[in-house]
Structure formats: structure tokens, C-alpha cells
Amino acid sequence: MKIYRVGNYEALSEMGADIVAEQIRQKPDSVLGFATGSSPVGVYKNLIKMGLDFSRVTSFNLDEYYPMKKNHPQSYNYFMRENLFKHINILQENINIPNGECGDPLAECADYDQKLAAFGGTDLQILGIGRNGHIGFNEPDGKLPLATQLVDLTKDTIDANARFFDHAGEVPKQALTMGLGGIFASKHIVLLINGGNKAAITKALLSGFVTTQIPASLLTLHHHVTLIVDRDAASLL
């Protein structure tokens, strides 16, 4: 894992966007893995400003709440549209996000993995981290799924994400998430960590041990991970 410490969220966002931009310049038909959450929003803002050509890019998002309507303001589908897709020239048919409206989650997950595998995984995967160490919605557990799955969210994640909903009771209790296999199939993973509330998990992630109780710690086993961490998140290192 290559670790870059930067001063603040702006610097992290610029660096993340530069890596994505270089990827698209090198390979205009790149397959990009996108994440939601506050961590990558600055990267997306910079990508929009750069005016890059996304017309040949294919995207796969990590996860979506379940059940969740695509047009719900808290859906990840809506998030991606508002924060990135409607501002760039990516083709609608090249956008892949797990479908929170599907009637058969098992079939949806299998289709998602099949499609991702047909592309040979992503060329570059943007990742954030939950404060409990989750990646996508792969929550701390004794075992972690390889395949895309319907998973139960932990209380910590529901509480952390409640800030986006009117009240905690509205946060879906389940989600569809790419599994560790899909994430690890990426050729290059860019992990973005910012803010003092991520300092403890950043320290745990880099402890020199791997554990499924900190899903992100497994990323230290991947051959090409770039971690960009800001000063606040790195404060306990």
C-alpha cells in the first residue's frame, strides 16, 4: 500500500482526481469503480471541473441500500447522478449501480458480478471507509463475502448514515454491496480517508495485521492500493 499524507480534504480531493484523470487519459475506455459518501465528493467535484471525456468510460458502483427507490434523495443512484453523472458525458447505458428496486436481490447480485467479471474487474476503484472499517457495505464480521450480496447493516453504520435521513428509523436496514472479490478484482484501488473521526480506524487499518473485523485491513494484501489520508485522519499514526 502506497500511503500519501496530505494536508487537508482539498489536497486529498485534488490528488484523487488527478489519479482518475490520468487513468482516463491512459485508457479512455477505462472501467471505473465509484463510491458514495462524503469522502469522494471532492474528487468528483474536481473531475467535473477538469472536463474529461467519459464517453467511453464504464462505471460500477459499490453499493446501494435495499430496498431503495432510484429517485429517493438518499439513494446512491441519486447521489451519483447529482454529484457526478449529470455533470459529465458518461453514457447512461455504461453506468452500473446495484438496483435497490429489484424484486430478486439474489439474481441482481449474480447479474452484477457477472457483468463486472465480463469487464475483468475495474481498472480503478475509488473507495471510502466506514468509521467501523467497512468498505462498500461489507461490515465487520467473522467472515466476509466474496460475491455481491444482500447484507444487513450494523447499528453503527445505520447511526452514522442517519444524518442524511429525517430520522434513524428511515435508514434502510439492508444493502446490496459488491463483495471483497469484486473489490479485489480492481487493478488499482484508491482509498480516501479524511477527518478526525476516521483517525482511530486509520490507525487500526495500518496496524500490520489483517482481520475481517476491519474489512479495510484486507486491502493491505492487494498488490496496488494508493491510500490518500489527510492530516486529521493521520493524526494517530
Which one of the listed residues 77, 83, 132, 161 is annotated catalytic?
132
Q: Which of 13, 23, 36, 132 binds ligand GLP (CB under 6 A)?
A: 36
Residue 37 or 145: the one with the smaller Cβ distance to ligand GLP is: 37
Is 63 catalytic? The answer is yes
CB distance 194 to 12 below 8 Å: yes
Looking only at residues 134 through 153 of this chain, which bind ligand GLP when binding is defined by CB under 6 A?
A: 136-137
Minimum separation from the CB atom of position 226 to ligand GLP (A) = 16
- Cα 209 from chain centroid (whole Å): 22
Q: What residues pair up with 61 in beta bridges, in sequence order?
A: 34
Q: Which of 138, 148, 157, 217 binds ligand GLP (CB under 6 A)?
A: 157
Minimum separation from the CB atom of position 108 to ligand GLP (A) = 17
Q: Which of 52, 62, 126, 216 binds ligand GLP (CB under 6 A)?
A: 62
Question: Which residues carry out catalysis?
Answer: 63, 132, 134, 139
Q: Which residues bind ligand GLP (CB under 6 A)?
A: 35-39, 62-63, 128-130, 136-137, 157, 161
